[in-house]
């Protein structure tokens, strides 16, 4: 495992990673780090610090699903969200009123080319939305009684159902109108906080299944929109799950990855069984599974790739 970006500061870390939808072709990816935002145009072999309007800690990054056409990238720093429409060469800042929010997650609508919709999760200030491609933002917290939002995820059928989930310090919330109003799900309070979420579609009917990573109870799963929950793969994953990713192979089977305290776990059967894909001595802070490799952030060290097999 060779580092392709080495941190100068031992306290530095990668908090979030994102790649162009056409990564296999264009090799473009981004890393939100404690020392700023980095970009690569050669598949992660080399990195450069992007000239943003701020050198603050960058906590989240997201890429437009229509990146090939609009070249749009978004990054969160303390008190603002940056947007670029030229691969990160130039940036515009959407500032937020004091006290400045600390953002934990950014998501972009899969229909972004048409609706220009984004959501941003923050600690202490709840969820913000933008309907004009990140130029302006407004809080959408009606019914969201816990404003410490750690993660957000869109339904696989977002374009039809406008369903979004927010993981908080005290549990999991759901909105069925694009985040304008929220309700608490049946997520068990003793399993909170909800650190990460994936929404997957299973079976011929493409039924939605929620999988949530927790701090002390591994993975929790729900097949009824969050009303009831079961522990998932307790024998394999028992502690903190800090990030979750799901993606389909060419044969339509679902592969999942979970970032745990000592490495990466992988499931080849939609989360039913898990194996250790990587065990490491350092602290993994972020991961991004790609077609043939995984981009991995290692606390205090930098970024590296490992095979995704």
Cα gap 70→85, rounded to integer Å: 6
Residues 222-229 have a mean pLDDT of: 94
Residue 53 has pLDDT above 60, yes or no: no
Please identify which residue in the block is written with the tokens 């997201």. Answer: 62
Do 151 and 197 contact (CB within 8 A), yes or no?
yes
Helix (H) or strand (E) holding 173: strand 172-175
Alpha helix locations (H) across the chain? Answer: 23-26, 67-70, 112-115, 158-161
The per-residue pLDDT of the chain, averaged, comes to: 93
Cα gap 282→68, rounded to integer Å: 35
Residue 178 has pLDDT above 70, yes or no: yes
Longest CA pairwise span in the chain (Å)? 50
Residue 54 has pLDDT above 60, yes or no: no
Residue 102 has pLDDT above 60, yes or no: yes
- What pLDDT shows up at residue 205? 59
Residues 64-73 have a mean pLDDT of: 97
- What pLDDT shows up at residue 206? 66
The CA angle 110-113-119, to the nearest 5 degrees, is 50
Mean pLDDT lowest for which of 4-8, 123-127, 131-135, 247-251? 247-251
Residues 162-191 have a mean pLDDT of: 97
Residue 308 has pLDDT above 80, yes or no: no
Read off the tokens for 90: 């130039």
Cis before residue 99, ω within 30 degrees of 0? yes
Residues 138-152 have a mean pLDDT of: 97
For the question of whether the overall pTM of this predicted structure is more than 0.75, the answer is: yes
- What pLDDT shows up at residue 78? 85
Residues 88-93 have a mean pLDDT of: 92
Do 237 and 227 contact (CB within 8 A), yes or no?
no
- What pLDDT shows up at residue 248? 79
Residue 208 has pLDDT above 90, yes or no: no
Q: Could you give the dihedral angle defined by the CA atoms of residues 203, 66, 177 and 205, in that order, rounded to the nearest 10 degrees? A: -10
Q: Which residues of 156-187 are buried (b: 16+ CB within 10 A; e: fewer)?
A: bebeeebbbbbbbeebbbbbeebbeebebbeb
Residues 214-229 have a mean pLDDT of: 95
- What pLDDT shows up at residue 250? 67
- What pLDDT shows up at residue 196? 98
N-term to C-term CA, the chain: 14
Cα gap 234→224, rounded to integer Å: 20
Cα gap 126→167, rounded to integer Å: 10
Do 47 and 40 contact (CB within 8 A), yes or no?
yes
Please report which confidence band the pLDDT of residue 81 belongs to, taking 50, 70 and 90 as the band edges. Answer: very high
DSSP at 241: E
Please report which confidence band the pLDDT of residue 207 belongs to, taking 50, 70 and 90 as the band edges. Answer: confident
Per-residue pLDDT tens digits for 240-275: 999 999 987 766 678 999 999 999 999 998 888 999
SS3 content of the chain, % helix, strand, coil (to 5): 5, 50, 45
The CA angle 305-308-309, to the nearest 5 degrees, is 145
Residues 199-211 have a mean pLDDT of: 80
Do 204 and 230 contact (CB within 8 A), yes or no?
no
Mean pLDDT lowest for which of 43-52, 106-115, 192-201? 43-52
Burial class (CB in 10 A: 0-12, 13-18, 19+), 84: buried
């Amino acid at each position: 495992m060779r580092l392709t970006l080495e941190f100068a500061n031992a306290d530095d870390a990668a908090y979030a990673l994102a790649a162009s939808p056409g990564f296999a072709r264009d090799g473009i990816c981004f890393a939100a780090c404690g020392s700023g935002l980095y970009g690569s145009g050669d598949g992660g072999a080399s990195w450069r610090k992007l000239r943003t309007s701020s050198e603050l800690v960058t906590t989240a990054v997201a890429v437009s699903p229509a990146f090939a056409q609009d070249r749009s990238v978004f990054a969160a720093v303390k008190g603002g969200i940056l947007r670029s429409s030229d691969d990160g060469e130039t940036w515009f800042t959407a500032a937020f009123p004091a006290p400045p929010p600390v953002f934990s997650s950014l998501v972009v609508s899969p229909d972004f080319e048409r609706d220009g919709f984004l959501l941003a999760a923050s600690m202490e200030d709840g969820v913000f939305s933008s309907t004009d491609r990140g130029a302006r933002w407004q809080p959408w917290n009606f019914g969201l009684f816990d404003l410490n939002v750690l993660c957000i995820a869109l339904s696989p059928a977002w374009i039809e159902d406008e369903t979004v989930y927010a993981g908080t310090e005290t549990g999991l919330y759901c909105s069925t109108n694009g985040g304008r109003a929220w309700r608490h799900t049946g997520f068990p309070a003793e399993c909170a906080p909800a650190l990460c979420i994936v929404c997957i579609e299973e079976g011929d009917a493409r039924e939605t299944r929620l999988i949530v990573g927790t701090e002390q109870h591994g993975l929790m799963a729900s097949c009824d929109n969050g009303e009831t929950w079961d522990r998932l793969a307790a024998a394999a994953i028992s502690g903190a799950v800090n990030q979750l990713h799901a993606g389909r192979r060419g044969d339509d089977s679902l592969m999942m990855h979970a970032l745990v305290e000592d490495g990466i776990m992988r499931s080849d059967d939609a989360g039913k069984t898990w194996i250790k894909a990587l065990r490491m001595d350092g602290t993994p802070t972020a991961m991004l599974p790609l077609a043939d490799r995984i981009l991995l952030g290692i606390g205090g060290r930098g970024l590296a790739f490992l095979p995704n097999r």
